[in-house]
C-alpha cells in the first residue's frame, strides 16, 4: 500500500513538472525575418528542403559584395545575398552550418539557436576555436491595413521600353526577399552564380 501511494505521488509530481516547463524550451522554428544586432539590416531565414538559409532582406545602406574573393563578383548587390548557409538541426532549437561575412568576404563554420521564440543567437567560429556571436531580434510582420474604401481601378500600363535589359534589371530590383515566397528564395539560391555557398565551407 505504501509503495502504491509513493508511486502515485511520484507520477503526479512528474506530471506537474512537465506541465510547468516554460514555453521557451519547446521546439521552435527559426524561419522568418530577423534584425541584426546593430539594426542596420534584416535577414530572412527560409527552409530549403530541410536546410535553413538566411538571405539579406533589407539593408539600411545599400551595398555591394566588395570583399568577395572573386573580383568578378564584387559589383553585385548585397540584397538577397545568402548570409546563413545550409543550417541543419544539431540539437533542440539549434542548427549548424556556415556563415558568410561580407565585411571580409570569408565563410566560417557557425550555428544559430533560439533561446526564446523571438531571439536568435548567431555564432561563428574560425577553425572551430575562435568564436564570436551576437543576438538578432525577430521582426514582427506589419499588421494588415484595414480599409473600407472601394478598390481602385488598375493603373494604366507604362509604355514599353526599348531596352529589355533595363526591364529585367527593374524586375530583379522589385523581387525583394521580404515579399518573395520561400520557394522563390530557395530557387534563387540554386541559381545564384558564384555565391559563397558554392565555395568550400571551412
- Predicted local confidence at residue 190, as pLDDT: 83
CATH number of the domain encompassing residue 66: 2.40.128.520
Domain carrying residue 60: 33-141+179-197
Position 163 in a domain: no
Position 15 in a domain: no
Position 157 in a domain: no
- Predicted local confidence at residue 93, as pLDDT: 95
Position 3 in a domain: no
- Predicted local confidence at residue 44, as pLDDT: 97
Position 19 in a domain: no
- Predicted local confidence at residue 170, as pLDDT: 43
C-alpha angle 99-102-108 in degrees, rounded to nearest 5: 30
**Number of domains present in the structure of the chain:** 1
- Predicted local confidence at residue 96, as pLDDT: 97
- Predicted local confidence at residue 27, as pLDDT: 65
Which residues have C-beta within 8 Å of that of residue 81, sequence separation ≥ 6? 55, 56, 65, 100, 102, 195, 196
Q: Does the model's pTM come out above 0.75?
A: no
Position 94 in a domain: yes
Position 117 in a domain: yes
What is the distance, to the nearest Å, from the Cα of residue 39 to the centroid of all Cα atoms in its chain? Answer: 15
Per-residue pLDDT reduced to its tens digit, 123-181: 998 765 667 889 999 998 654 444 444 455 554 454 444 444 343 344 444 578 999 99
| Rounded CA separation 35/54 (Å) | 12
- Predicted local confidence at residue 148, as pLDDT: 43
Position 41 in a domain: yes
Spans of the chain, pLDDT less than 50? 1-25, 143-150, 155-156, 158-173, 195-202
CB atoms under 10 Å from CB of 169, counted, come to 11
- CB 114, CB 89: distance < 8 Å: no
Amino acid at each position: 500500500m505504501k509503495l502504491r501511494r509513493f508511486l502515485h505521488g511520484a507520477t503526479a509530481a512528474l506530471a506537474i513538472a512537465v506541465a510547468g516547463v516554460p514555453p521557451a524550451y519547446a521546439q521552435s522554428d527559426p524561419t522568418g525575418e530577423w534584425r541584426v544586432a546593430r539594426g542596420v539590416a534584416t535577414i530572412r531565414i527560409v527552409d530549403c528542403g530541410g536546410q535553413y538559409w538566411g538571405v539579406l532582406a533589407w539593408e539600411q545602406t545599400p551595398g555591394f559584395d566588395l570583399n568577395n574573393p572573386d573580383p568578378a563578383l564584387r559589383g553585385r548587390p548585397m540584397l538577397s545575398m545568402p548570409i546563413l548557409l545550409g543550417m541543419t538541426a544539431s540539437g533542440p532549437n539549434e542548427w549548424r552550418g556556415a556563415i558568410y561575412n561580407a565585411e571580409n568576404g570569408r565563410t566560417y563554420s557557425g550555428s544559430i539557436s533560439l533561446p526564446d521564440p523571438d531571439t536568435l543567437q548567431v555564432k561563428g567560429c574560425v577553425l572551430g576555436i575562435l568564436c564570436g556571436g551576437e543576438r538578432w531580434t525577430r521582426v514582427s510582420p506589419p499588421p494588415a491595413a484595414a480599409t473600407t474604401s472601394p478598390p481602385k481601378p488598375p493603373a494604366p500600363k507604362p509604355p514599353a521600353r526599348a531596352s529589355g535589359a533595363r526591364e529585367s534589371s527593374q524586375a530583379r530590383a522589385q523581387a525583394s526577399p521580404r515579399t518573395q515566397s520561400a520557394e522563390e528564395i530557395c530557387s534563387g539560391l540554386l541559381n545564384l552564380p558564384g555565391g559563397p555557398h558554392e565555395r568550400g565551407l571551412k
